[in-house]
Amino acid sequence: MSNYRVLLLESVHPNAKEKLSSYGFDVEPLADALSGKELAERLKGVHVVGIRSKTQITAEVLEGADSLMAIGAFCIGTNQIDLAAATARGVAVFNAPFSNTRSVAELVLSEVVMLSRQLGDRSAQMHQGQWRKTARSSYEVRGKVLGVIGYGHIGRQVGVLAEAFGMQVLYHDVVGKLPMGNNAPSVSMDALLAESDFVTLHVPETVQTKGMFGAPEIKRMKKGAALLNASRGTVVDIPALAEALKNGHLSGAAVDVFPVEPKQNISDEFHSELQGIANVVLTPHIGGSTIEAQENIGTEVGEAVSRFLATGSTMGAVNFPHLDLPPSEGKYRVTHVHENVPGVMRHVNRVVSEAGVNVGAQVLGTHETVGYVLMDVDRPLPPKVIQDLEAVDHTIRVRTPLGGPPVG
């Protein structure tokens, strides 16, 4: 399979190269991001490009990338990629949204203790030469109630870690979720707010969650409780939070994400109504930023892309349906990407059956504008049959990943 060429940009973690090389692919790592003509030039003949957040994969870039089959986004977001254009060309895009789950959960738990002991303020005072030894307003977290809003990957990990500290965990989610350990679902968000000493937000950024935590929700929190947000900056109304901290309704807050965040480290200034308020821990969106998360991203995206090249599996893709079919002995795999319109499968199956080829397994999935088929047949498809499959109306790409040369 070494005939697949992979270009890794932006110093993607070495785990990615290791994983892709273990499949026998030809991998070229580069330290920097590329753009413009240089990027277009380097992408010629490349089957997979691995990027982080800086390289912009626009429709124009995709247009010139004649051999490109997949993009590995070795990061969480995929805003730097024109997903619609990639999908229209049958290019699968992979990312690693959950590689930093544990990192965020650990940060949140440490902040619960920080807020309970006013550690941020004590440390800042010590740096200014002020020794303020006091037990005033300092509490253990054991026995306190932690309310988790959004009980997904991160919310559940937070719930598990909090119990190890002896906390009682309540959670609220719009979808029914099985509790971890002794975590308990709350009857409503209002009930959770009324009972929790700490409320931590772990919802995604959606139309529903935008501004979901404003003055009314803050008011419903217990007097003296603390709020933590390491989800998305648009979820919390920052001026309302600042007001509740200043008037003493809340005892503290830990905020990692902001409605507007600086693009550049150091050179871009950061401003927030929360600056200068006592017992407020502010961090520059570092919840998921750990060495372990970077390693996980390298391995996870490297593995997902490798499996895609080797078997056609699209598990972990953001713009394709998630399909997987274990390879079977003596079978030959064919993948077919097409526009998601009625009737394509009928023609695909007609071409295959007219060629006298027997289908051992077949799975179809659709995602928005694209349809994708994994199919195992009893013998290698002759070039003429592949051409006939490519000629089926609405076909985007045909490939024979197992054992054959790259097609399409």
Would you tell me which residues interact with ligand NAI (CB under 6 A)?
Answer: 76, 98, 100-101, 104, 149-155, 172-175, 202-206, 208-209, 212, 230-232, 256-257, 285, 287-288
Cβ at position 81, least distance to ligand NAI in Å: 17
Question: In the 8-state DSSP scheme, what is residue 66?
Answer: T
Cβ at position 178, least distance to ligand NAI in Å: 11
Q: Give just the sign of the alpha carbon dihedral 72, 75, 76, 81.
A: negative
Nearer to ligand NAI, 292 or 354 (CB): 292
**Which one from 13, 89, 232, 397 is the annotated catalytic residue?**
232
Cβ at position 241, least distance to ligand NAI in Å: 16
Cβ at position 124, least distance to ligand NAI in Å: 22
Cβ at position 228, least distance to ligand NAI in Å: 11
CB-based closest residue to ligand NAI: 152
Nearer to ligand NAI, 149 or 392 (CB): 149
| Helix, strand, coil percent content, the chain, rounded in steps of 5 | 30, 20, 50
261 is catalytic: yes
Residue from 257, 256, 252 nearest 241 by CA: 252
Nearer to ligand NAI, 126 or 174 (CB): 174
Cβ at position 199, least distance to ligand NAI in Å: 12
162 contacts: CB under 8 Å, gap ≥ 6? 109, 112, 141, 146, 169
Nearer to ligand NAI, 212 or 407 (CB): 212
User: How are beta strands 359-367 and 332-339 bridged, if at all?
Assistant: unpaired
Using alpha carbons only, what angle is made at residue 113 by residues 112 and 119, rounded to the nearest 5 degrees?
A: 115
**Is 40 exposed, middle or buried, given 0-12, 13-18 or 19+ CB atoms closer than 10 A?**
middle
Nearer to ligand NAI, 151 or 372 (CB): 151
Radius of gyration of the chain (CA): 26
Residue 261, CB-side half-sphere exposure with 13 Å CA sphere: 14
Nearer to ligand NAI, 122 or 177 (CB): 177
b/e burial code for range 104-135 (CB count within 10 A of at least 16 → b): bbbbbbebbebbbbbbbbbeeeeeeeeeeeee
**Which one from 42, 285, 367, 394 is the annotated catalytic residue?**
285
300 is catalytic: no
**Which one from 28, 140, 261, 368 is the annotated catalytic residue?**
261
* E-only strand ranges, 268-331: 280-282
Active-site residue list: 232, 261, 285
